[in-house]
């Protein structure tokens, strides 16, 4: 039974898919590390604002806003740098480089003498995150087979969510100055593994007219060995030649060049429009922002449960949601997950806002579990679509000639919204109150649901060398 399962084309342990899975797991080490940096902030900010702060300086709401939102500025920077460098230097070198700013983050955290150290550290963390969200989806789309591409790409956000949960736990229970020493293990291990086991994708090497290296890379990621049957090797080489033909237009000496006209086609315009809706839904649903300010949100929600414990529960729910997405993304398709996710998030946020509104009027102490339950539902449903599928969809919806650049532009816009909403979210909670903030996010998500229902096309199984 197990052997029969492994022979299925969409099984990750199928012989052809094993090196693709290995590469995904290795490059996702930096995603786990990045997630730990995000999750660590939530319980740590409450410590830094308390009278028993481990640092020698105080932080007010404006400092908290800038420490939180610096991640978005860094993410924009990482997006732009990655978009510029990935085609010129290849994904492998870019994957190695994103470990450097993340390592610097933990040195700045350890030696922090003022709030500016933390702001710069979060900015550097954002550069790594911005690189991840450009490089990982593009790289995985080029090395993975169509029938497992959605699953492998969804593992990126699953890894980030695992890291966020670990960050919640370690940030709650470890001393402030112990955390950086523990955290340095991840980026250093990641750098070593990428150096030893990751190669540039076959498509990247074909674009550089390095056909011999491209063939070796193709055989590596498709796990084609010299000892395999002649028929299997012949079929694989026919597949490679087809990719090569599509990317060079049949001329081995001239790669298929990109012109301004390619960015202005009706197909590209449709891609821009839907990418914009996806990015707005991803950010203005508040899902990522709430992860950063989770402890503060629970402290203001009317719940009597410990805010840090509630945050850890949410971290577990995030992982479950992302895991469900990896199971269903290549089975049910992307569109149905986005519809369920956006509708569920809109309803959950509406209900959460209602509870927090009435908790200010009535004594709801006996219902302190409700905010955790509603936020758990919100985060779970958000992670099965709006969070986990965003990078899969954005990569797949653009024509192949402009895919890298258009994806980079889309993620830059996403990162600019990360900066905006991380900056204004604590201010909105302070000025409008938590209920109105939640209802605003719910309304925007509901509008995005309607757009998905009417205009989003299914991209499951789409070839990466076709439009």
Per DSSP, the residues of 263-331 read GGSHHHHHHHHHHHHHHHHHHHT-HHHHHHTHHHHHHHTT--S-HHHHHHHHHHHHHHHHHHHHHHTTT
What's the confidence (pLDDT) of residue 34?
94
What's the confidence (pLDDT) of residue 50?
73
Per DSSP, the residues of 347-367 read HHHHHHHHHHHHHTTS--GGG
Q: How far is CA 79 from CA 126, 129, 283, 292, in A?
A: 9, 8, 16, 20
- Distance from C-alpha of 219 to C-alpha of 271, rounded to nearest angstrom: 32
> Of 271, 253, 273, which is closest to residue 262 (Cα–Cα)?
271
What's the confidence (pLDDT) of residue 464?
67
Residue ranges for the chain with pLDDT beneath 50: none
Please count the helices (runs of H) and the strands (runs of E) in the chain: 22, 0
Quote the pTM value. Answer: 0.82
With contact defined as beta carbons under 8 Å apart, do 94 and 82 qualify?
Answer: yes
Angle, alpha carbons 131-188-199 (nearest 5°): 60
Condensed to tens digits (0 to 9), the pLDDT of residues 315-327 reads 888 899 989 998 8
- Distance from C-alpha of 307 to C-alpha of 42, rounded to nearest angstrom: 10
Kindly report the backbone phi and psi dihedral angles of residue 28, in degrees, each rounded to the nearest multiple of 5, phi listed first.
-80, -5
Domain ranges across the chain: 14-204+258-455
With contact defined as beta carbons under 8 Å apart, do 165 and 39 qualify?
Answer: yes
Percentages helix, strand, coil for the chain, rounded to the nearest 5?
A: 75, 0, 25
Under DSSP, is residue 256 helix (H, G, I), strand (E, B) or coil? coil
CA torsion 129-134-139-142 (nearest 10°) is 150
Fold (CATH) for 14-204+258-455: Growth Hormone; Chain: A; (1.20.1250)
HEC-encoded secondary structure of 71-134: HHHHHHHHHHHHHHHHHHHCHHHHHHHCHHHHHHHHHHHHCCCCHHHHHHHHHHHHHHHHHHHH
Q: What is the DSSP letter of 17?
A: G
CA 459 centroid distance within chain:
19
């Amino acid at each position: 039974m197990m052997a029969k399962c492994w022979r299925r084309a969409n099984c990750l342990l199928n012989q052809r898919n094993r090196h693709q899975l290995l590469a995904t797991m290795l490059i996702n080490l930096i995603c786990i590390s990045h997630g730990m940096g995000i999750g660590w902030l939530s319980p740590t900010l409450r410590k830094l604002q308390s009278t028993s702060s481990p640092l020698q300086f105080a932080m007010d709401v404006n400092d908290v806003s800038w420490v939180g939102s610096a991640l978005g500025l860094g993410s924009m920077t990482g997006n732009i740098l990655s978009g510029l460098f990935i085609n010129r230097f290849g994904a492998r070198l870019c994957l190695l480089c994103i470990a450097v700013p993340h390592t610097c983050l933990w040195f700045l955290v350890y030696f922090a003498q003022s709030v500016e150290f933390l702001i710069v550290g979060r900015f550097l963390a954002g550069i790594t995150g911005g690189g991840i969200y450009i490089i990982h989806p593009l790289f995985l789309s080029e090395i993975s087979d169509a029938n497992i591409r959605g699953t492998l790409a969804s593992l990126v956000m699953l890894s980030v969510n695992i890291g966020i949960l670990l960050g919640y736990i370690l940030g709650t229970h470890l001393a402030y100055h112990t955390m950086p020493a523990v955290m340095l293990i991840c980026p250093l291990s990641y750098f070593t593994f990428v150096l030893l086991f990751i190669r540039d994708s076959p498509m990247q090497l074909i674009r550089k007219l390095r056909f011999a290296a491209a063939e070796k890379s193709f055989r590596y990621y498709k796990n084609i060995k010299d000892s395999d049957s002649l028929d299997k090797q012949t079929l694989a080489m026919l597949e490679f030649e087809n990719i090569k033909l599509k990317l060079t237009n049949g001329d081995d000496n001239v790669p298929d060049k990109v012109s301004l006209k390619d960015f202005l086609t009706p197909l590209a315009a449709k891609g821009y429009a839907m990418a914009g809706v996806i990015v707005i839904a991803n950010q203005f649903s508040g899902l990522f922002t709430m992860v950063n300010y989770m402890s503060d949100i629970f402290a203001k929600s009317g719940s009597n449960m410990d805010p840090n414990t509630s945050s850890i529960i949410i971290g577990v729910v995030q992982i479950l949601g992302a895991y469900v997405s990896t199971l269903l993304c290549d089975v049910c398709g992307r569109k149905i997950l986005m519809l369920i996710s956006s509708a569920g998030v809109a309803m959950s946020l509406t209900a959460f806002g209602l509870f927090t509104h009435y908790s200010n009027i009535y004594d709801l102490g006996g219902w302190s579990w409700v905010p955790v339950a509603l936020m758990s539902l919100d985060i779970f449903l958000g992670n099965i679509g709006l969070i986990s599928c965003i990078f899969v969809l954005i990569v797949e919806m653009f024509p192949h000639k402009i895919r890298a650049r258009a994806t980079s532009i889309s993620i830059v816009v996403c990162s600019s919204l990360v900066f905006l909403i991380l900056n204004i979210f604590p201010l909105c909670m302070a000025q409008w109150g938590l209920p109105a903030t939640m209802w605003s996010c719910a309304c925007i998500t509901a509008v995005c649901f309607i757009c998905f229902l009417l205009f989003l096309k299914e991209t499951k199984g789409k070839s990466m060398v076709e439009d």
